[in-house]
Structure 1
Amino acid sequence: MTVITCIDDLKRLHKRRAPKMFFDYCESGSWTEQTFRENTSDFDKLRLRQRVAVDMTNRSTTSQLIGEDVSMPVALAPVGITGMQHYDGEILAAKAAEKFGVPFTLSTMSICSIEDVAAHTKSPFWFQLYTMKDEDYLRRLIERAKAAKCSALVITLDLQILGQRHKDLKNGLSAPPKLTLASMIDLAFRWRWGMGMLSTKRRTFGNIIGHVDNIKDPSSLSAWTAEQFDPALDWKKVERIKEMWGGKVILKGILDAEDAKMAAKVGADAIIVSNHGGRQLDGAISSIRALPSIVEAVGDQVEIHLDSGIRSGQDVLKAVAMGAKGTMIGRAYIYGLGAMGQQGVTKALEVIRNELDVSMALCGKRDIKDVGRDILLVPEDFEGRWQAS
């Protein structure tokens, strides 16, 4: 029996149990993967200040994200094709998040539909929206999220066009997987995954199949999605979508202070400092490096969350210390899901909360709401010394 003590333990199990194309989908970035790597390595450059002889009793990691009570400042990020990492993946992750007391965000490109997740949970979840050219579909998708009582709309801004991810192209990524000789050999060694997939009817994109005319199977879906991401997305369209939704809006994919100012100007309830996990613009700076300038620019105007690179409770602590109100985890919970289903997602959350709690205490803080930059040692050149543009 494997003893799980850290997120890397779950990652190793995930790699053994999930088909290669889906593990690679999770564990990859675009082009050279420089930004993907630096999202995690830049957290290592920040040091924590140990403090002693401080009362560490009655600690609390509870907080609020966009006015919602949370057990720690963490939300589950939207991740596409989560239901291919483990059968009924989005449903199981949402149930784990609900029981743990953190928000779950459902991706537009999920395997389980909005209605599927709503039927299996009681707490409102967040819905992530990719802007599509088909405005009728976009409007109906938003209405479906309203009907499911989603408590926030997370609009992704950094996927107007798709960054090239070499592993996905080489693996022939599809949902469900295409049966080639290579994929069949791989699936033969993933019997646990295969048995699970045979037990469910959810094997393709539930938010699209049956909701778009002439999209009846994976082949027609691929052609449709290749043309649908909207390269014309601009701030005026963001405002129109915000009005169409009428509820709380979170804007995801902010990496520049000027874009953060625009997000605040259009009235976002929160922004997510994110480079899409290093899967879009390779060569962009890491999210944690981008965070300080964005906090300085709009920290008093809009709630700031951070996504991309978080693999531990210490990373959560560092992000909060650098000015984020909350964080999002994607790969960290997907490792758990691929390894052990709902139990694995819960384990990932337990690992992160334990690391957050202990590290916070050893830095001399008892409440996450009291954590500030004073617990960190930050290199002088952490944000980079770039020539003026």
Structure 2
Amino acid sequence: MSKKIYFPYKSQYPSIVDLKKKAKKRIPKFAFDYLEGGCNEELNLMRNESDFDEILLKPQYLHVADDIDMSVELFGRRYSAPFGISPIGLQGLMWPNAPEILAKAAAKHDIPYTLSTVSTSSIERIAEVSDGKAWFQLYHPTENRLRDDILQRLTDVECPVLVVLVDVPSFGLRYREIKSGLSMPPKMNISNIFQAMTRPIWGIKTLQHGIPSFATLKPYMEKGLDLSQLGQFMNKTFTGKVNIEKVKAIRDIWKGPLVLKGITTEEDMQAAIAIGADGVIVSNHGGRQIDAGESSIHSLIKLAGNPLYKEKTKIMLDGGIRSGVDLARAHAVGSDFNFMGRPFMYGVGALGDEGGENTINLFKAQLYQIMQQLSLEKIEQLPTRLIK
């Protein structure tokens, strides 16, 4: 008889939707819109979630399943569950100290946390609080000098996995950010200041932890930049398409596992495999870059369905996952691992310092329950329950 395992989370928030509702009440509107918004009419943002509904699973109730093991091996390490925390820029703006909260929770629960180049904690600080377990997502700089310095800093802290972002040849046209002033160059207007005043806990926490900044990039910035100058710095430093030659150069320098994030087509998948990428993350940047594209899960179904790709690299998913059931669906159609961003920010927005652990446990509890319902013992068995 299998033993029961409990994953404690706050019962008043039994779903990601409940955490989202609470977070919306605690985060200023301009910051919540930055987290929540997609590009253009946000159609692909909606497809990312709704297309999961097309994936159906079948139980086998008379099959006897023993103890459930949700762990997954990835790049020579076994993680406690088949998911991690996505990189998100400006995390500390949405909830003060969010990167550290999430990195600590991920390390404690043995799942990967990924720090973005444009997040609000530094490489060194996140390496410290995560016991060296955190991954890093690189926005490729325009200058190779800056790229090489960042890679050296990652080597110095023994970062286990480098993720190179490839889907931002230009910044997406995001109407919510334009209206709120959080596009580049960013600016704080009277409306934003008023919104912040109506969220006192957020304001107090911001005072405690300081005004958020691009902490990893501080060594490369002139001191005393105002917001307009900061926008100019970001545009100058990160404007430029990531092509295969730039990725090859990183592959030559970086000796650890290399993952490309933003792969959605067979052409890019073939190129990633050709230069020796250890994995790809199928992603449309959370619906924030191209509105006329397909959902991340539909792209994954096509790519993971090709056995030649599956044999040569890890195929992971980012985008649209909002429950443990969605995690099961993703694995049923071929995902090797999965990442979520917004759900974890809802968690810290709703529950502060407890939000990271609560959201991890919530996903684990939901995934564990669907595996019980399907009578499965291991994540690798989920494709056997897919209704074709």
Would you say 1:280 and 2:289 are equivalent positions?
yes
Q: Is the 8 A contact 1:107 1:128 kept in 2?
A: yes
Q: Structure 1 residues 127-136 or 114-123, which shifts more?
A: 114-123
Tell me which residue corresponds to 2:131.
Answer: 122
Q: Structure 1 residues 340-349 or 298-307, which shifts more?
A: 340-349
What do the CA deviations read for 1:206-235 (whole angstroms, capped 9, x no partner)? 011232346744432211112333434210
Shift of 1:245: 2.0
Would you say 1:341 and 2:352 are equivalent positions?
yes
Q: Is the 8 A contact 1:108 1:207 kept in 2?
A: yes
Shift of 1:320: 0.8
Shift of 1:243: 1.5
Q: Is the 8 A contact 1:84 1:176 kept in 2?
A: no
Tell me which residue corresponds to 2:336.
Answer: 325
Shift of 1:284: 0.5
Tell me which residue corresponds to 2:375.
Answer: 364
Would you say 1:376 and 2:386 are equivalent positions?
yes
How many Å separate the matches in 2 of 1:100 and 1:279?
29
Tell me which residue corresponds to 1:193.
Answer: 202
Q: 1:174 to 1:292 in 2, by over 3 A?
A: closer
Q: 1:2 to 1:283 in 2, by over 3 A?
A: same
How many Å separate the matches in 1 of 2:244 and 2:222?
28
Shift of 1:134: 2.1
How many Å separate the matches in 2 of 1:337 and 1:353?
17
Shift of 1:288: 0.8
Q: Is the 8 A contact 2:262 2:283 kept in 1?
A: yes
How many Å separate the matches in 2 of 1:225 and 1:99?
33
How many Å separate the matches in 2 of 1:266 and 1:87?
39
Would you say 1:291 and 2:285 are equivalent positions?
no
How many Å separate the matches in 2 of 1:200 and 1:335?
19
What do the CA deviations read for 1:140-191 (whole angstroms, capped 9, x no partner)? 1111111122101100000121111000010011799844321122111110
TM-score, normalized by length of structure 2? Answer: 0.93
How many Å separate the matches in 2 of 1:305 and 1:217?
38
Number of aligned residues: 377
What do the CA deviations read for 1:218-273 (whole angstroms, capped 9, x no partner)? 43221111233343421011010122222210100000112111111110111001
Tell me which residue corresponds to 1:39.
Answer: 48
Higher helix share: 2
Q: Is the 8 A contact 1:103 1:126 kept in 2?
A: yes
Q: 1:161 aligns with which of 158, 163, 170?
A: 170
TM-score, normalized by length of structure 1? Answer: 0.92
Shift of 1:83: 1.2
Q: 1:77 aligns with which of 75, 86, 95?
A: 86
Q: Which runs of 5+ in 2 are unaligned?
A: 1-9
Q: 1:227 to 1:177 in 2, by over 3 A?
A: closer
Q: 1:175 to 1:64 in 2, by over 3 A?
A: farther
Tell me which residue corresponds to 2:257.
Answer: 248
How many Å separate the matches in 2 of 1:343 and 1:102?
16
Q: Which runs of 5+ in 1 are unaligned?
A: 379-389
Would you say 1:316 and 2:327 are equivalent positions?
yes
Q: Structure 1 residues 34-43 or 200-209, which shifts more?
A: 200-209
SS in 1 for 2:311: coil
Would you say 1:261 and 2:247 are equivalent positions?
no
How many Å separate the matches in 2 of 1:365 and 1:331?
28
Shift of 1:371: 1.9
What do the CA deviations read for 1:259-316 (whole angstroms, capped 9, x no partner)? 1111111101110011001100111001111112212151111011001111111111
Would you say 1:140 and 2:162 are equivalent positions?
no
Give 2:321's aligned amino acid: I
SS in 2 for 1:207: helix
Shift of 1:346: 1.3
Shift of 1:334: 1.0
Q: Is the 8 A contact 1:160 1:229 kept in 2?
A: no
